[in-house]
Amino acid sequence: MTSEQIRLGVITEIHIVPPGTPEGFWHNPFLFDQAEQLFLRAVQRCQELEVDAIAILGDLTHFADAGSFAAIRGVLATTELPVYVLPGNHDVGGEVQPLAAFQQALDLPNVTTAPATLALTPWIDLMLVGLEPSGEGRRYAAVRSRAVTGNDPVLTVVLTHFPPYAMQELLASADLKHAGDLTNREPLLEAIGAVSGPLLIVNGHLHVHATIEDGRFLQLSVAALIEPPHDVTLLTIGIDEDGVPGERLDELHRIGVTEPPVVVLGGLGGIDTAFEALDHLGDVGAHLHDVAEQIVKQVHGPHVAEPRDVTTTTQTSRNRRSGRHARL
């Protein structure tokens, strides 16, 4: 086996809206009037950094309206990179078949929409988890593809909007809001756990940076583009010459800007470290190794409210139930 690595630019929580939509707020204010520009700059930055592909983890729009999807298509048309796209809860509206409507809205030659399973390399499989409404109210269920790649993968990467591991208690301990769980969260975790070997799960939805390590599973939650500090995550996944999911899983960097009094798009290239090097995933079929402490450098301006980013609120919270731990 030869040494190889894949570098993904990961974007989530874009929240493009129709013109005139009042500003929103989650952990920090949403800059709806700049959402399309932020998305374009994020895609441009991924291209500048020569990623192999772009992954978008959901909530591309805020209302799942045609105009916002058209804006998303316009930005995606500016790149020839492969793009892997998941729906978020904001992207599946009131259509009879909302997941099919999402797929049709993003039907572009370089775009693969969830649910799907494909081979990133002969040694790395990629699983894209879809989403659809489930029951009354704003409840959602994960939808998986049952396709197989024919690989015997050393590593499986799972991209999902909602996290498979529960995080409500963890966020509450940091005085942060929780945006809800899948109705089939536990069945999803069980289903992806049926895959042999190490699994890397990357999720959005919660607008926070967080890690949960549980045996051969590693879940990385990445933060939002729409709210300060306007994140894009660079994820390098390495396989070494011995077939080990790499001594560095590897780099996760945050590209963020909190320039007063508004976001300066040209400054999006300033890289702050959100997750420093992750420890290696260990021997093939063995457990994931521990995750390095997160190191965060945030840039604040005099006119910008202190962001309640999960990585700055608490860096050492632990949840040791069932033998797993989580770091915020």
Q: pLDDT tens, 46-62?
A: 998 899 999 999 999 99
Share of the chain above pLDDT 70, in %: 71
Share of the chain above pLDDT 90, in %: 49
- Which pLDDT tens digit goes with each residue over 210-263? 888 888 888 889 889 999 878 888 888 866 666 665 533 334 444 443 322 222
Read off the pLDDT of each residue in 7-29 and give the average, rounded to a whole number.
93
The closest of 210, 291, 154 to 27, measured between CA atoms, is 210
| Distance, CA of 215 to CA of 31 (rounded, Å) | 38
Two tokens, residue 9: 């630019």
| Distance, CA of 310 to CA of 328 (rounded, Å) | 6
Q: What is the dihedral of CA 177, 179, 182, 183, to 10 degrees?
A: 90
C-beta of residue 182 within 8 angstroms of C-beta of residue 206: no
Using DSSP bridges, classify how beta strands 155-160 and 124-128 pair: parallel, antiparallel or unpaired. Answer: parallel
In one-letter notation, the amino acid at residue 93 is G
What is the domain class of 4-327 according to CATH? alpha beta
- Which pLDDT tens digit goes with each residue over 29-40? 999 999 999 999
- Which pLDDT tens digit goes with each residue over 56-86? 999 999 999 999 999 999 999 999 999 999 9
Q: What is the dihedral of CA 306, 309, 313, 316, to 10 degrees?
A: -150
Model pLDDT, residue 288: 27
The closest of 182, 200, 208 to 12, measured between CA atoms, is 208
| Distance, CA of 234 to CA of 284 (rounded, Å) | 24
pLDDT surpasses 60 at 138: yes
Q: Is residue 191 helix, strand or coil? A: helix
Model pLDDT, residue 244: 62
pLDDT surpasses 70 at 291: no
More confident call, 323 vs 256: 256
pLDDT surpasses 70 at 319: no
Average per-residue pLDDT for the chain: 75
Model pLDDT, residue 213: 83
> Cis (ω within 30 of 0) for the bond into 22?
no
More confident call, 229 vs 268: 229
Count CA atoms within 13 Å of residue 164 on its CB side: 26
C-beta of residue 152 within 8 angstroms of C-beta of residue 166: no
Q: Is residue 37 helix, strand or coil? A: helix
CB atoms within 10 A of CB 300: 14
Model pLDDT, residue 229: 78
Residue 187 is given by DSSP the state: H
More confident call, 122 vs 306: 122
pLDDT surpasses 50 at 19: yes
Instruction: Kindly state the helix (H) or strand (E) to which residue 138 belongs, with its residue range.
Output: none
Model pLDDT, residue 212: 87
Read off the pLDDT of each residue in 111-116 and give the average, rounded to a whole number.
96
DSSP track, 263-297: --GGGGG-EEEEE--PPP--STTS---PPPPP---
pTM: 0.78
Query: Range with the lowest mean pLDDT among 45-54, 186-195, 272-281?
Result: 272-281
CB atoms within 10 A of CB 15: 27
pLDDT surpasses 80 at 112: yes
